[in-house]
Structure 1
């Protein structure tokens, strides 16, 4: 997988505008500085619903995309259940590409 979304996820990670890992994602959601929440499709239903509920409570756009392994690979890390994008421009770009169906 080396599509444009994969590229933008990697860029946002290198720019320090993406966080992953359960504690970090939850902390940034609570602070209200997450612009887009990307949840892996193969995350357990309980965790997936928990992230979706948190995103809805803070009015954060939330998308289900990629597997945990693909998200981790895009960020240069181990498998990740969710990635929080902190920058509005990265969030807008990733969101638009996912809406078009590009991965």
Structure 2
């Protein structure tokens, strides 16, 4: 089941419906463009606090996934990415159902 959500993250990234990078994700959360934020389980404590606090403030759902940064990065074809913001409501809904 977890491969399915990673496939959907990859599709969303290729469709340009994702943002990566801490500053970009925070801007997307503040502008209400982000529909779902996925965080790797090995994200640093400061980055985790900053992004989760922003998500709570702006009522954006987030999920700390069971995979580490290597698996999440591989799904989007980048390296060392610990967070991915999904910008499309359809992709976000499907990923949420796949994650349970």
Provide TM-score, normalisation by structure 2.
Answer: 0.93
Residues 16-71 of structure 1, C-alpha deviations (whole Å, 9 max, x = no match): 00111112111111211110010111011121121111001110111001211111
> 2 CA distance for matches of 1:83 and 1:30?
15
Stretches of structure 2 that go unaligned for 5 or more consecutive residues are none
> 2 CA distance for matches of 1:27 and 1:58?
11
Alignment correspondent of 1:71: 72
Q: Give the number of equivalent residue pairs.
A: 98
> 1 CA distance for matches of 2:15 and 2:9?
10
Alignment correspondent of 1:28: 28
Provide TM-score, normalisation by structure 1.
Answer: 0.90
- Do the aligned residues in 2 keep the contact of 1:35 with 1:61 (CA within 8 Å)? yes
> 2 CA distance for matches of 1:79 and 1:5?
19
After superposing on structure 2, the runs of 4+ consecutive aligned residues of structure 1 that deviate more than 2 Å are none
Pairwise CA distance, 1:79: 1.6
- Do the aligned residues in 2 keep the contact of 1:70 with 1:79 (CA within 8 Å)? no
CA RMSD of aligned residues (A): 1.1
Residues 63-98 of structure 1, C-alpha deviations (whole Å, 9 max, x = no match): 001211111110000121110000001000101111
Alignment of 1:1-103 (within 5 A): 3-65=3-65, 66-99=67-100
